[in-house]
Amino acid sequence: MGGSYHPSPAGILSGAWGNNISTRWGGSHPRAGESCEDGGSHPRSGKPNEIIIGFSNQVTLDTYAVAVTTQVTDLSNLALTDPLTGLFNRRGFWQRVTYDIDHGVHHAAFLLLDLDHFKAVNDLHGHPVGDQVLQQLAAPEQASARPSDAMARLGGDEFAWWVVGMMDARALHRRLQGISDDLRHHQGLTFSVGAAWYPESGCDVEQLYQRADEALYQAKRGGREGLTIAGQSQIYRL
């Protein structure tokens, strides 16, 4: 039979699969008018059990295939995810933004967010505390995100946020203000943000990253605790 065939319990009992059952058992069906005693050969003893065993083995193989597929999916997710925060890593974020651009998203904001004076947290309290701070920063980002948004930890204390449909600086500032207030209240920390509009500031992820990084540098140079839009001089205080 062409290809692999995995019979279901119903298929085993159906004529389609059963028409070939004599060959699998090693016997033959009686001709018309004959009984099994007259001309047909009986299946050899014990052979029907082989079908049950074979089906059991097939179920085991199917279960194994599902397990392997699940493991491959898990590994693929790990390759695109930051293990500390559960956000995208750089590779996953780049793929997501590129996918949206390639599939016709009209407007979006590309944000780079950097904690202010985060090195002092690690130096004074140790990296475990620093890791907790990064996780707590990621949590309100995730809570305020929409399904169309994408967030990532690019490395260290640098985060990225892709906000589809966002083209208003004041509306963006309001969204970031809530996250800033929460972090300041619970950790006594602040952050700075550089933003680039798509497609005005760049047509691909590398261009957007460069423009947002320039805006982030401007926000930090202007005193930190603020949002700067690429191509603008104004700093929106957080």
Q: Is-above-0.85 flag for pTM?
A: no
Q: DSSP for 64-124, please give it.
A: HHHHHHHHHHHHHHHHHB-TTTSSB-HHHHHHHHHHHHHTT---EEEEEEEETTHHHHHHH
Cα three-residue angle 49-54-60, rounded to 5 degrees: 130
Task: Pull the structure tokens for residue 166.
Answer: 């966002």
**3.30.70.270, 3.40.50.300, 1.10.3720.10, 3.90.1580.10: CATH of 90-237:** 3.30.70.270
Q: Compute the distance between CA of residue 80 and CA of residue 90 in angstroms, rounded to an integer.
A: 8
Per-residue model confidence as pLDDT tens digits over 68-115: 555 544 445 668 999 999 999 999 999 999 999 999 999 999 999 999
Residue positions annotated with a catalytic role: 157
Residue that has been written with the tokens 């449909």 in this structure = 165
- State the pLDDT confidence band at 64, using cuts at 50, 70 and 90: low
User: What residues does each domain of the chain span?
Assistant: 9-80, 90-237
Please report which residue ranges of the chain form alpha helices under DSSP H.
Answer: 9-13, 15-18, 21-25, 47-80, 90-102, 118-125, 127-144, 169-187, 205-221
- pLDDT, tens digit (0-9, with 9 covering 90-100), for 39-53: 444 444 456 666 666
State residue 150's pLDDT score: 94
Spatial distance between the Cα atoms of 163 and 230, rounded to a whole number of angstroms? 15
Phi, psi of 168, rounded to the nearest 5 degrees: -120, 120
Enumerate the β-bridge partners of residue 157.
none
Compute the average pLDDT of residues 205-226: 97
